[in-house]
Structure 1
Amino acid sequence: MNLLTDSSHREFLLDEARRSLRFFDASLRADGGFDVLDWQGAPLPRGPQELHTTTRMVHSYVLGRAIGHPNADRMIDAGLAYLWNHHRDQSHGGYLWAVGGDDSKLAYGHVFVLLAASSAKLAGHPDADRLLADISDILDRHFWEEDHGLYADEFTRDWQPFSGYRGMNANMHGVEAMLAAFEATGDAHWLSRAGRVLDFFTARMAPAHNWRLPEHYTADWQVDPAYSGNPMFRPAGTTPGHSFELARLCLHHWDLLGRPATDAPTRARAIIERAMADGWRADGGILYTLATSGQPAIRDRYWWPVTEAIGVYAHLLKLSPTEEDRQAYDQLWTFAQTHFIDADNGGWFPEIDDTGQPTTTQFHGKPDIYHALQADLYPLTPGLSRPIEGLANLTT
C-alpha cells in the first residue's frame, strides 16, 4: 500500500504538523526573537540567536500558514522584522550569523535568508520584496562564484575572506533557496543557478565517489579528503542525511524544469539508495557520517536524517515507486514514531542514544521545527515542487 494515499496516514501527518506548530509557538519572545525550547516547551537560557534559526522559523510558519495554523502570521511577522532590524548589518551589508555573538557572514545563513524571503513572498507578506531584493544583491556580490557556478562560504563582518574553505552544505541549501526564489518570482536565473550547483554535486561528484557526496572542498573546488572541522557541523567524510536532502532537491529542480528527458531521476535514485544502504543502522535509524572509504564513522543518530529520508522517499512514491520504496517510507515513519516524535508534548527529540532513548549529547531541548515539519507536510503535496502552493490547495 502507498501510504501517501492512505487517509489515516495523511490525517496523522497533518495532526503531527499542527502539534509541532503549536509547540514551537511558545518560542516567540517579546523582542521578536525566538527562544530554544526544552523538551516540555519552556524556554532554555538565552544565548545568541543564529541566523538559520530566525530564517527557518519564517519558512516553517509560511508552511504552517498554508495549512491554516492560527498563529502563523504573528510568527512570520516577528521573524521578518528580526531579520531586518537585528540580523541585517546596516554598516557593512549582509546578515550577521548570530545576534549577540558571532558576527561573521556565512553563505549557509545567507541562503536561508533567501529561503525566508522567498517563502514570505509566496505568502504575500508586504516585507518580502525588500528582503528578497537585499539578499539577492548580497549573494550576487559576495558569495556567488560565477566561474565555478557555486557559492563561497565565509567572510568576516566587513567581507574579508578568512578561509579558503568551500562546502556542500551551504550550496545544497542554496539550491533549496533558489528553487523557492524561482517559485516566488518566476525569475529563471534562480533555476539556472540551482541547476549548476546540482550538476556539480549530482552529475560530477556523486558518480565519481560511488554515489556518495563529499562534503568539503578547497578554494578551487577540489575535494579535501583530509578536512576535519567541527565534528557536529563540519564532520569529516560524508553525511548520508545530506544525500537524501540533495537528491530531493534534484527531483524538485527536475520537476520545475518540466520533467525533461534527462538522467536526473536516475542520479537522484542512485544517491538515495547508496545513502540508505550506507546509513541505515541494523538497529534502526541513520548514522551521522561515513569515512571517505564508506565505512561508518560517527554512528550517532539524529532526527534530521530521518526526516530528510522521509521527504525524498515521499518523492519516489509520487513517481514510479518500487515495493522497496514503500517499505522504506513505512520503516522510516515507524522508527520516527517509536524513537523521535514526542507524543506527549509535541516536536521531535533531536537525538537518541544506543538504546534508542532520547539523549542530550549534542543538542539541548528541541532546537528545530524546520526538518520535522517538512517531513510532515511535503508528503501531502501532490507534486515534487511548489510545496507552499500544494499545501494551500490541500484537501484531505
Structure 2
Amino acid sequence: MIDPDAECRRLAGFARPAAASPAGFWWLDESGRPDPAEPVHTWITARMTHVFALAHLRGDLEGDEAASLAAHGIRALRGALRDDELGGWFASVSGEGEPVGTLKEAYAHAFVVLAATSGVAAGVPGSGELLEEALEVVLEHFLDDSGRVVDSLERDLRSGEAYRGANSSMHTVEAFLAAGDVTGDTVWHQRALAIAEHLIHGVARSHGYDLPEHFDTEWSPLLDYNADRPGDPFRPYGCTPGHLLEWSRLLLHLDASVSEPPAWLVEDARALFERAVAVGWSADGQDGFVYTTDWSGAPVTRLRLHWVVAEALAAAGALHTRTGEAVYDQWRQRFEAYAETHLLDRDLGSWHHELDEQNGPSHVIWHGKPDVYHAYQALLLARMPLAPVLSVQLR
C-alpha cells in the first residue's frame, strides 16, 4: 500500500517547479515542467498554495522551502491574479501577469478562500488579509439572496452566465468549512450546510443520488447540458461519480463540524458513496471509475481521471472513520491499491491525471499533470479525523 508520508513528500517535490512565474503557479507537464502553452490559473495557484501550506505544517520539504512556496502563492493571489481595479480575482493571467479573459469564477474564488485559510493556519504573511477580502467578495458577489452559489460573473462583478453549477457549489462548501474552522465563526459552517442541503438532500436525493451538475438561474436541472461535449473537464454531460464521492466526504465533515447535525448528512453520505461505486467503479468491466454516466447509470465517458480515485479513497476513509464499518476500509484499500498500480508515475513523478479504458496513460481530457491538490490531500483525508480541516489539525 501507499506510504502516505513518503508519497506526500514526493508529490510536494514534484510540484516545486510550478512556482517559476512571479504571477503564480504554472500548469505542469508530464515531467513536472511548467507548460508555457497554459496561462497562470487562479485555481491552480490557490490549490498549490493550499498544498504547500500543508506541506510546511507537515515538514514535507527541506528547511523553509514549503513555507517560501506557500508565501509565493499568497503574494500572487494578492498581486497579479487579483483585480485591483474592480475587485475579485481573474480566472487566469499570462506568465507576465496580464489578465486572460474577463470572466470571474466562483470555482476559483472558492479556492482563493481555501488557500487563504491554509495560509493563516500555517502562519504565511498576508494570508489573514487575503482571507478577509476573499470572504467579503464571495459573500457579496458569489452568493445569491438564498445563499446559493452564483457560478460566474463578468469583470465588473455585476452580470454573468445564465448558469448555475454543482461543481462550484461543492468547492464553496469545502472553502466555507475551512473558513469556519480557521476564523472560529460558525456562520460559515451553516452557509455550507445550507448549500449541501439544497443540492444533496434536495436535488440529488430526488434524482436517486445521480446529482445533476448543471442548472439554469432558477436552479432547474439542465439534464442535457453539454450532451455534445460529454468529456468536458469542468462541465461534462450527465452524472459525475467522482463528485458523488467528493460530496459524500464533505457531508461527513459537515456532520463533524456543525452543532446538532441533521441525520440526513450521514444517510446521504452513505447513499452517494454507494451510488458512485454502483455506477462508476468497474462499470465497463475494467477496474477504475468511469468519468461520467447517463441518467440510466450507463457509462458515457469511460476515461479514468486520477482525481476521482483520490476522492474515492478519501470518502471511503471518511466513512470508515464515521461509522467504524470495515467495508469502507476495504474499499479504501482497494482504491489505494488501484492508485498504486495504475496512477502513481514512478518514472516522471506525481500521478497520471488520466487513464484510458484499459488503464493506460491518456491525454484526451487533461494534458500534463496540472497540480497535486487531489492526490496530496486525499492521502491525508483518508486517515485523519473529520474535523477540523487539515490545516488546523496539522497546526
| TM-score, normalization by structure 1 | 0.92
Partner residue, 2:239: 238
Q: Using a 3 Å threshold, how does the CA distance of structure 1 residues 203 and 30 change in structure 2: closer, same or farther? A: closer
Partner residue, 2:198: 200
Q: State the percentage of identical aligned residues.
A: 35
Q: Using a 3 Å threshold, how does the CA distance of structure 1 residues 381 and 190 change in structure 2: closer, same or farther? A: same
Quick one: which amino acid aligns to residue 275 of structure 1? A
1:22 aligns with 2:10: no
Q: RMSD across aligned C-alpha pairs, in angstroms? A: 1.7
Partner residue, 2:97: none
| Superposition deviation, residue 141 in structure 1 | 1.6
- Contact kept? 2:114, 2:175, Cα under 8 Å: yes
| Superposition deviation, residue 30 in structure 1 | 5.0
Q: 2:58 aligns with which of 53, 67, 87?
A: 67
Partner residue, 1:161: 159
Partner residue, 1:76: 70
1:330 aligns with 2:319: no
- Contact kept? 2:27, 2:40, Cα under 8 Å: no
| Superposition deviation, residue 184 in structure 1 | 0.5
Aligned residues: 382
Q: Deviations along 1:143-190, whole A, 9 cap, x unmatched?
A: 11122x211111111224232100000000000000000111011210
Partner residue, 1:211: 209
| Superposition deviation, residue 32 in structure 1 | 5.1
In 2, Cα distance between equivalents of 1:320 and 1:262: 13
Quick one: which amino acid aligns to residue 242 of structure 1? H
Q: Using a 3 Å threshold, how does the CA distance of structure 1 residues 226 and 32 change in structure 2: closer, same or farther? A: closer
**Mapping for residues 50-65 of structure 1, pairs under 5 Å:** 50-65=41-56
**Mapping for residues 1-396 of structure 1, pairs under 5 Å:** 12-31=3-22, 33-70=24-61, 71-100=65-94, 101-147=100-146, 149-228=147-226, 231-258=232-259, 260=261, 262-281=263-282, 282-392=285-395
- Contact kept? 2:254, 2:265, Cα under 8 Å: no
In 1, Cα distance between equivalents of 2:328 and 2:260: 20
In 2, Cα distance between equivalents of 1:146 and 1:382: 33
| TM-score, normalization by structure 2 | 0.92
For the residue of structure 2 that corresponds to 1:347, the secondary structure is coil
- Contact kept? 2:302, 2:356, Cα under 8 Å: no
Quick one: which amino acid aligns to residue 84 of structure 1? R
Quick one: which amino acid aligns to residue 107 of structure 1? A
- Contact kept? 2:19, 2:26, Cα under 8 Å: yes
Q: Using a 3 Å threshold, how does the CA distance of structure 1 residues 367 and 193 change in structure 2: closer, same or farther? A: same
| Superposition deviation, residue 245 in structure 1 | 0.5
In 1, Cα distance between equivalents of 2:236 and 2:5: 34
Greater alpha carbon shift after TM alignment, 258-267 vs 214-223: 258-267
Q: Using a 3 Å threshold, how does the CA distance of structure 1 residues 343 and 384 change in structure 2: closer, same or farther? A: farther
Q: Using a 3 Å threshold, how does the CA distance of structure 1 residues 366 and 257 change in structure 2: closer, same or farther? A: same
Quick one: which amino acid aligns to residue 168 of structure 1? A
Q: Using a 3 Å threshold, how does the CA distance of structure 1 residues 265 and 41 change in structure 2: closer, same or farther? A: same
In 1, Cα distance between equivalents of 2:369 and 2:142: 31
Quick one: which amino acid aligns to residue 280 of structure 1? W
- Where does the alignment leave 5 or more consecutive residues of structure 1 unmatched? 1-8
In 1, Cα distance between equivalents of 2:173 and 2:233: 22
Q: Using a 3 Å threshold, how does the CA distance of structure 1 residues 58 and 259 change in structure 2: closer, same or farther? A: farther
Partner residue, 1:6: none
In 2, Cα distance between equivalents of 1:111 and 1:221: 20
| Superposition deviation, residue 384 in structure 1 | 4.4
Q: Deviations along 1:226-257, whole A, 9 cap, x unmatched?
A: 21175222111110101111111110011012
For the residue of structure 2 that corresponds to 1:39, the secondary structure is coil
For the residue of structure 2 that corresponds to 1:144, the secondary structure is coil
| Superposition deviation, residue 280 in structure 1 | 0.5
| Superposition deviation, residue 78 in structure 1 | 0.5
Greater alpha carbon shift after TM alignment, 64-73 vs 227-236: 227-236
| Superposition deviation, residue 258 in structure 1 | 4.9
In 1, Cα distance between equivalents of 2:357 and 2:268: 33
Greater alpha carbon shift after TM alignment, 339-348 vs 242-251: 339-348
- Where does the alignment leave 5 or more consecutive residues of structure 2 unmatched? 95-99
- Contact kept? 1:383, 1:390, Cα under 8 Å: no
Q: Deviations along 1:73-98, whole A, 9 cap, x unmatched?
A: 11111101111111110111110001
Q: Using a 3 Å threshold, how does the CA distance of structure 1 residues 359 and 45 change in structure 2: closer, same or farther? A: same
